[in-house]
Amino acid sequence: MQDISRDLLTQASKGDMQAFEEIYRLASGFVYSVALRITANADEAKEVTQDVFIKVYKKLWRFRFQSSFKTWVYRVTTNTALNTLKKISKEIGRRADYDVALKVKDDRAATTQAVERDDNKRLLSSLLGMLNPDQRACIILREIEGLDYREISKALGVNINTVRSRLKRAREALIPHGKRGDRL
């Protein structure tokens, strides 16, 4: 993402639509990319991107230049995407029983694969659901997005030792429930 000038951000925060459109033009690709890495679904990433820019538009006046705009928008994007995943995982849990029942009539091999996929989704959702939101964000950013501790620290606006602690606690909570040899 290209650097966005302080003047442009200030103008947009005061309601200048042209300034906001320029911010959107400069940052939307970055926001979509982050959302896609977290949601792993193009349609959901588009929805997250729209939601993020609605939030940016409404809350840009709160941005105080204590961090870079990129870090701030990354944090908004990450939180929005995580909330979206949480909603999706709840829907998957509700639909899984119905989907499995319908697929029993289909080819047994296809049914087995569908059940395993649903089981994996439910397991991932269940495991992530065991963590508090801070731990969940750290695990997703580290294990799914592949960010290093410093990048996670900047994205979440916390000390690097806090990131280490959250990851350690999250892994300790997840290890008894995962398969041996899995990376956590």
The pTM is what? 0.57
Q: What's the burial of 143, exposed, middle or buried (CB within 10 Å: 0-12/13-18/19+)?
A: middle
Q: Which CATH architecture has domain 6-129?
A: Orthogonal Bundle (1.10)
pLDDT at residue 180 in the model:
43
Domains of the chain, residue spans? 6-129
What is residue 62's predicted lDDT score, i.e. its pLDDT? 85
Report CA-CA distances (Å) from 165 to 10, 118, 139, 144, 169.
36, 31, 11, 18, 6
CB 55 within 8 A of CB 83: no
Dist CA 181 CA 37 (whole Å): 24
pLDDT of 85 reads 80
Written as tens digits, the pLDDT of the chain (184 aa) is: 778 888 999 999 999 999 999 999 999 999 999 888 788 789 999 999 999 999 999 998 888 887 788 888 988 998 898 888 888 766 665 555 555 555 554 555 555 665 556 666 666 667 777 888 788 888 878 887 778 898 888 888 889 999 999 999 998 988 887 654 444 4
How far apart CA 126 and CA 153 sit, in angstroms, is 25
CA angle 104, 102, 40 (to 5 degrees): 105
Distances (CA, A) of 167 to 28, 101, 145, 184: 29, 37, 14, 9
Amino acid 118: pLDDT: 61
